[in-house]
Chains A and B, each alone.
Chain A
């Protein structure tokens, strides 16, 4: 090994504290890049492979009851590659050993006993039901696992009012249900919702669908126009109660998974540059200082005949070693966290396999970027060192030129103590460095705020969703829309206290060229269980003629109160009406539009109807209530809002505390990286100054004040900037998480700012106090003797 390389390694070992502090910040960037990019790639690849291998459809449409021969017309639509029709129905399930009911989505299998052509389920165990059998089903694997089912186990299903006992012949996963969410729920619950496939004749017989279908799925040819196919399909299905065809974008499972993939991609592109930027600055600061200290050695190396390249490479390599350390830490933690993330995703997304090609390119890219960061950080100083003429390098640097500025006059007026004066002077002597340090620390604050707001947002979401808007205990879903009198039957169920009905009507809303498909919810007057809340937290009701729309719908369609919107109903007479937007309501899940029962009845010139019943019930009669709804033919499912609220809180609490914890660590690492290095450099630059103060009779603490004071002053200056950047970054994060599925409100109480500031200030103080100990150990005599 060359002597210069030995010097490199020994210097690196000597500077391990500073190197480690930088390496950890760099490691954060590498880790996040690796995790987010790796997971993004893994999910994207897996999804793509699963979709391709299992023929995921491009377009879906449902109708009430369409004749099978219509299929040939559907296939003939230009751009359709293949089409398949099926019967699908929601079933109320009674699972042995489970008090509460569950919901099943039953899909018919082709009569020939083969797998479907599109959305092909992948068999995980057992076999397909016998096409002739009358009690066999294939169920989704997570549903079987969550309920402890083995092949051959049985459960009951209410099919069109008839209780049938079904036998499980196999388990499967489907590209259509990677994210399987039950009707009316917010989160997957594998135990209470499952998809099941059964022979067509079973479903057709039970639901009077012989020779008919109610769902069609299409795949399109490569150059097809999805919009045109959807329009053509809507035209074909409208006589049969078609409720509007939609593409992958609006397919529930795909929408959730692709939103998640998009978020990972955002995370992989937004956050790592912050860490790499800070690392580059730290490397620049530290290498710059090392070079200043080694000026004489650089001169010597040049005198000995080492070339500029040798010398520049020596210092870039020193930064490179730090990068290697950071990469190593980042790779290890990134690998672990990617594995952890994969396990997290496996809870929500049901893939038959995960193509986790420990994407070597993610490792390569993150490693390359980390090395590049270090090189960029070191290069300027290193080149400067290399360019120093040897004779200049060997003489001590000229003292910095001080000029009396306006600032100095202000300082003198302020009558500050000498140590305070030293702090302020130094800040203005190295304005760029002070500004960069301030910016770096403000990013630490900002990162915490930008993530910390989630827990407050979720509290608000939970409060608005469950305490203000949806105050029912349970939502009972009817098998089909019913007359208001159905509420009386519901009222008779054991323990039921309050009952209110709502009607869901699929519709297309248009404003100018903007269009959105959603369900308009119709409520009775004075509904107290499910209601809408405006931005000020007050209850709003649609009065007379007018539509309430949620903020997300208002944004997407560019609507304000008082505007008119074109509403095309997708059921019944399929009429189009022009309605006025009465008010905007706050709702954080999905899209929503609301109107009164009377207005809907007037528009459709029909008797008021309901699709669901919202109820509250007496908990002491839960058993009897659960038993009763399992045997009520008109109910296809029950959504326990109270359970949903609990699982929402539990899931988010866990995820948010992990995320908050992670980002606190990240903010701490950034702060340590910046303050520890700044303090070490301050101390090194000021060793003589500080020793002089000691010799003049200042106490250790008075001298330490100069060091601690400057770092803490920078940290304090960083706070307001950090709040501002955090506010902006938080908005960016909230916006990047907002989709038709969720709307994340930005809630930032003073406590969020205070927490972030407290963490950063406390960390900064601790780091600088660690360095401060060196002040006590300053060897006054030798410091004054050193040449620099």
Chain B
């Protein structure tokens, strides 16, 4: 059995907006394993992104337990969470979030500047097939290219976990495939644990496991006996 990377117990997250309480997560129990590629599926507001934010140290849980390799994240200070993100986590967002005033290489360097044991920006970009556009600004890149730069930026620090929130949400299918290809390669070649949120049920076929969300809770967890390559996904 592979090592447990994330372990959550009775994880609750409640938002207070305008006098009403919104239960984004209501008691989630989940284990995620090393080198696994997990897809989180579910409709908007089902709690996937909230869980990802808490796992990534971007947000605090209201109650319950979250452990990263046996270390309790719920008790960490903001400073310690920052350290945790810097050392262990790579993020990929739906809207790429590249800094427009920096080139592809420089966007990756934002991470390599502060990470303890990073690969070079050139190597990270080569891994996602962006070697030929290394000195281009985001405005000079297509959506898929921008997202690949964002992935390069996420993996450059050699993170133990790669958290991807709707990485293909803003992309057409052809470019989406390229991005998923990049994520799969990182997962397989570097052994990075990858968690991918998606609306797109077709993507689940490339995962080791698929976790479905409904109303702030896990409705099902399924293990894929056979996985397919992103290029075989049709949507």
How many residue pairs at the A-B interface have CB separations less than 8 Å?
Answer: 78
- B122 CB–A CB distance under 8 Å: no
A516 CB-CB contact with B under 8 Å: no
**Cα–Cα distance between A326 and B86 once the two chains are bound (Å):** 36
- Knowing A297-B97, A303-B91, A306-B114, say if A6 contacts B82 (CB, 8 Å): no
One of B85, B99, B106, B109 near A297 (C-beta < 8 A): B99
Task: Give the CA-CA distance A394 to B107 in the complex, in Å.
Answer: 17
Residue of B nearest to A307 (CB): B82
The interface residues of chain A lying within 8 Å CB-to-CB of B86 are: 304-306
B82 touches A7 (CB 8 A): no
0/1 string, B66-102, CB within 8 A of A gives 1: 0000000000001100110111010101010101011
Give the bracket for the number of chain A residues in contact with chain B. Answer: 20 to 34
Report yes or no: A305 in contact with B82, Cβ–Cβ below 8 A: yes
Are A6 and B102 in contact, with the CB atoms below 8 A?
yes
Given known A3-B107, A303-B91, A305-B83, contact A391–B99 (CB-CB < 8 A): no
Q: Decide if A391 touches B53 in the complex (CB within 8 Å).
A: yes
Closest to B163 in A: A303
Asked if B58 is an interface residue, CB under 8 A from chain A, the answer is yes
A494 to chain B, nearest CB (A): 84
Kindly list chain A residues whose C-beta atoms are within 8 Å of the C-beta of B42.
Answer: none
Q: Are B85 and A7 in contact, with the CB atoms below 8 A?
A: no
Instruction: Report Cα–Cα, A6/B99, bound state, in Å.
Output: 11
Residues facing B in A589-616 (CB within 8 A) are: none
**Are B102 and A303 in contact, CB atoms less than 8 angstroms apart?**
no
**A301 touching B110, Cβ below 8 Å:** yes
Which chain B residues lie closer than 8 Å to A500 at the CB level? none
> Complex Cα distance A390/B173, Å?
30
Q: Note all chain A residues with C-beta closer than 8 A to B111.
A: 304-305
A304 to B93, CA, bound (A): 12
A190 at the interface (CB under 8 A from B): no
The verdict on B59 contacting chain A, using a C-beta distance below 8 Å, is: yes
For B115, give the chain A residue with the smallest CB separation: A305
A3 touches B110 (CB 8 A): yes
Which A residues lie within 8 Å of B115 (CB)? 305
A302 to chain B, nearest CB (A): 7
The CA of A301 and the CA of B82, in the complex, are separated in Å by 10
| Chain B residues whose CB sits within 8 angstroms of the CB of A306 once the complex forms | 82, 86, 114
Measured CB to CB, the nearest residue on chain A to B86 is A305
Which single residue of chain A is at the shortest CB-CB distance from B53? A391
Q: Which of B79, B91, B95 touches A304 (beta carbons < 8 Å)? A: B91
Contact call A2/B53, Cβ cutoff below 8 A: no
- Given A303-B58, A389-B59, A7 contacting B99 (CB threshold 8 A): yes
Q: How large is the interface on B (under 10, 10 to 19, 20 to 34, 35 or more residues)?
A: 20 to 34
Q: Which residues of B contact A299 (CB under 8 A)?
A: 97
- List residues of chain A with CB within 8 A of the CB of B153: 304
- Compute how far the CA of A94 lies from the CA of B44 in the bound complex, rounded to whole angstroms: 103
Q: Which of B56, B79, B101, B107 has the largest count of A CB atoms less than 10 A from its CB?
A: B101
Within 213-236 of A, Cβ neighbours of B (below 8 Å) are at: none
Is B58's CB under 8 angstroms from A3's CB?
no
A302 CA to B91 CA in the complex, in Å?
A: 11
The answer on a CB contact under 8 Å between A3 and B101 is: no
User: Which of B56, B58, B111 lies at the interface centre, i.e. has the most chain A CB atoms within 10 A of its CB?
Assistant: B58
Q: B103-120 vs A: 1/0 string, CB under 8 Å?
A: 000111111011100000
Report the nearest A residue to B82, measured CB to CB: A307
A390–B87 touching, CB < 8 Å: no
Those of A286-309 within 8 Å (CB) of chain B: 296-297, 299-308
**What separation, in Å, do the CA atoms of A6 and B137 have in the docked complex?**
13
**Whole-angstrom CA separation of A307 from B77 in the bound complex:** 12
Contact indicator A302/B83 (Cβ below 8 Å): no
Contact B97 A3, beta carbon cutoff 8 Å:
no
Q: How far is the CA of A302 from the CA of B101 in the complex (A)?
A: 18
A residues 1-28 touching B (CB-CB < 8 Å):
2-4, 6-7, 10-11, 14
CB distance from B165 to the nearest CB of A (A): 9
Q: Please, which residues of chain B bring their CB within 8 A of the CB of A301?
A: 110
Asked if A538 CB lies within 8 Å of chain B CBs, one says no
Cα of A313 to Cα of B217 in the assembled complex, Å: 40
Bound-complex Cα distance A707 to B3 (A): 60
Contact of A787 among B87, B95, B102 (CB under 8 A): B95
Closest chain A residue to B137, Cβ basis:
A10
Do residues A391 and B85 form an inter-chain contact, with CB atoms below 8 A? no
Which chain B residues lie closer than 8 Å to A390 at the CB level?
A: 58-59
From B78, B89, B110, residue with most partner A Cβ within 10 Å = B110
A3 to B118, CA, bound (A): 15
Q: Is the CB of A394 within 8 A of B83?
A: no
Partner of A307, one of B79, B95, B101: B79
B59 contacts across to A, CB distance below 8 A:
389-391
Chain A min CB distance to B196 (Å): 16
Least Cβ–Cβ distance between A8 and chain B, in angstroms? 9
What separation, in Å, do the CA atoms of A590 and B53 have in the docked complex? 78
CA distance A296 to B108 in the complex (A): 17
* Contact of B101 with A7 in the complex, beta carbons under 8 Å: yes
**With A297-B97, A391-B53, A394-B93 in contact, do A305 and B102 touch (Cβ < 8 Å)?**
no
Q: How far is the CB of A289 from chain B (nearest CB, A)?
A: 16
User: Which residues of B sit under 8 angstroms from A10, Cβ to Cβ?
Assistant: 101-102
| Minimum distance in angstroms from B56 CB to a CB of chain A | 7
Taking a contact as CB atoms under 8 Å apart, the answer to whether A303 and B56 are in contact is yes
Distance of A297 Cα from B93 Cα, bound (Å) = 12
* Cα A299 to Cα B94 with chains together (Å): 14
- Residues on the B chain within 8 Å of A394, using CB: 58, 93, 97
B58 and A2 contacting across the interface, CB-CB below 8 Å? no
A301 and B78 CA atoms in complex are apart in Å by: 14
Which residues of chain B are near A3, meaning CB under 8 Å? 99, 102, 106-110, 113
Q: How far is the CA of A178 from the CA of B101 in the complex (A)?
A: 60
A residues less than 8 Å from B97 (CB atoms): 296-297, 299-300, 394
Instruction: Choose among A14, A302, A303 the residue with the greatest number of B CB atoms under 10 Å from its CB.
Output: A303
Residues of A contacting B102 in the complex (Cβ-Cβ under 8 angstroms): 3, 6-7, 10
| B-chain residues with CB within 8 Å of residue A305 when the two chains form the complex | 82-83, 85-87, 89, 111, 114-115
* Complex Cα–Cα for A654 and B42 (A): 79
CA distance A69 to B85 in the complex (A): 94
Closest A residue to B91 by beta carbon equals: A303
Residues of B within 8 A of A303 (CB): 56, 58, 85, 89, 91
Chain A residue with Cβ nearest B90: A304
Q: Which residues of A contact B95 (CB under 8 A)?
A: 296, 787
- Bound CA span A307–B78, Å: 9
A14 touching B82 in the complex, CB below 8 Å, given contacts A6-B106, A304-B111, A391-B53: no
Taking CB atoms and an 8 Å cut-off, the chain A residues in 267-324 that contact chain B are: 296-297, 299-308, 310
Is A304's CB under 8 angstroms from B101's CB? no
With A3-B107, A4-B113, A10-B102 in contact, do A391 and B82 touch (Cβ < 8 Å)? no
Residue of B nearest to A301 (CB): B110
> Which residues 754-768 of A sit at the B interface, judged by CB distance below 8 A?
none
* Contacting residues, chain B, for A310 (C-beta < 8 A): 114
- Residues of A near B79 (CB, < 8 A) are 307-308
Q: How far is the CA of A2 from the CA of B113 in the complex (A)?
A: 6
Return the chain B residue nearest A2 by Cβ: B113
Complex CA gap A296/B102 in Å reads 15
Contact of A302 with B107 in the complex, beta carbons under 8 Å? no
Instruction: With A303-B58, A389-B59, A391-B59 as known contacts, state yes or no: A4 contacts B82, CB within 8 Å.
Output: no
Complex interface: chain B residues within 8 A of A302 (CB): 58, 82, 85
Bound Cα distance A40, B69 (Å) = 67
Closest CB-CB distance, A689 to chain B, in whole Å?
22
Apart from A304-B110, A305-B86, A306-B114, what 16 extra A-B contacts exist at CB < 8 Å? A2-B113, A3-B110, A4-B113, A6-B106, A7-B102, A10-B101, A296-B95, A299-B97, A303-B58, A304-B91, A304-B114, A305-B82, A307-B79, A310-B114, A389-B58, A394-B58
10 A-B residue pairs with CB within 8 Å: A7-B101, A7-B102, A299-B97, A300-B99, A303-B85, A304-B85, A305-B114, A389-B58, A394-B97, A787-B95
Nearest 10 pairs between A and B by C-beta?
A305-B86, A10-B101, A3-B109, A391-B59, A3-B110, A305-B85, A390-B58, A300-B97, A391-B58, A3-B106
